[in-house]
Structure 1
Amino acid sequence: MPALAILLIVVGLVFLFLGIFVEAVKFLLWIGIIILIIGVIAALMRFVRRNT
C-alpha cells in the first residue's frame, strides 16, 4: 500500500508538470491534479490506520 501511494503521488506530479509545460496536452494538468489528490488521500488513510 505505501508503494502505491508513493507511485500515485509521483505519477500525479509528472502529469502535473507535463500539463504545465506542454500547452497542447492541457488535460494532463487535470489528470495530474486528480491522481495527486488520490495519492495524498491514500497516504493519509495509511497514516490514520497506522495510528489507530
Structure 2
Amino acid sequence: AWKLHLLQWEEDSNSVVLSFDSAGQTLGSEYDRLGFLLNLDSKLRSFILVAQAGV
C-alpha cells in the first residue's frame, strides 16, 4: 500500500504532516505529528531534529 505525506507550512514555521494510506485512512499510530516514524532510533531522530532546526 502506498502512503502520501502532505506537508503544510504555517506562518510560525511549524509543520503539520498528514499521512494517508492507500484507502485514505489517516495513519496516527505509526507517525508522530511531525511525520517521524515512532520507532525511529532516538539518537537518529535527535540528529534529524537538530539538522532541521538549523535550516
Question: Given the two structures, how large is their TM-score scaled by the length of structure 2?
Answer: 0.28
Query: Which structure is higher in RCO with an 8 Å CA cutoff and minimum separation 6?
Result: 1
TM-score, normalised relative to structure 1: 0.29
Larger strand share, 1 or 2: 2
